[in-house]
Amino acid sequence: MFLSSEHRRHPEYRRGFLDMAGAATGIAAWGLMTGVAMVKSGLSTLEALLMALTVFAGSSQLAAIPLIQAGAPVWVILATGLCVNLRFVVFSAHLRPYLMHLPRRQRLVIGYLAADLTYVMFTKRFPQPASNTAERAAQMAYLAGNSGINWVSWVGSCVLGVVLANAIPTAWGLGFAGILALVGIVASLATSPMRWMSAGVAGMAAVAAFALPLKLNILVAIAAAVAVCLLLEGRLPGAAPREAK
């Protein structure tokens, strides 16, 4: 569906493309750094390319890389990736009414291409699921244009980083550039006190637990942020109120 000429001709395809184009440079810098880091972590070029092309999850890739370097057990790497990506369970539950009219294979493709910024931009553009065929066409066209450039900018730059890993000097500081890009993306998503709170708690917990082996401070940070946000749910401005029981 994402290569459909019908979608490309729709005005919403261009709108989705342009909305994501503004963030594509930061995503590409992050992807380039991730590609380099995968090779520097000890993965072979083939392994890194396979990961770049199949694991479309930047935060999970970055979380897994230091664990691979540290020689962590496979279950720790998988558990970390699972925890980092748990937010997509919430995303998919929210997007379900938008997508249930599609065949399963198309929903699987959309699930693979789902990303944080795509979700945020799509739901901001379309706060409610479509109620007729014309609205569904507009929503799918927007999603195609938006997620298409997001995938190309990430995977393309990640593959480029893998290929050029041994030719890029460490002195260029791509790791810091990637961190800056990630900070910019995170800051753009922190639009409520609850989100700022979760980011702050996760950061403090990660620093406090830094001495743990196998980079387990990442798991501690995720667990602490989720726990605090569940406790504060409905009490901070911008937080969803709890349902009455």
Mean pLDDT of the 86-106 span:
88
Residues of the chain with pLDDT > 70, as a percent, come to 83
**Residue 71, pLDDT above cutoff 90:** no
Are the beta carbons of 183 and 53 closer than 8 angstroms?
A: no
Are the beta carbons of 77 and 103 closer than 8 angstroms?
A: no
CA–CA gap between residue 211 and residue 194 (Å, rounded)? 27
Q: Is 237 helix (H, G, I), strand (E, B) or coil?
A: coil
pLDDT in tens, 122-156: 998 999 998 899 999 999 999 999 999 999 999 99
Are the beta carbons of 182 and 30 closer than 8 angstroms?
A: yes
Res 65: pLDDT: 81
Average pLDDT, the chain: 82
CA–CA gap between residue 189 and residue 170 (Å, rounded)? 30
**Residue 225, pLDDT above cutoff 90:** no
Q: 8-12, 33-37, 50-54, 190-194: which range is least confident on average? A: 190-194
Res 156: pLDDT: 93
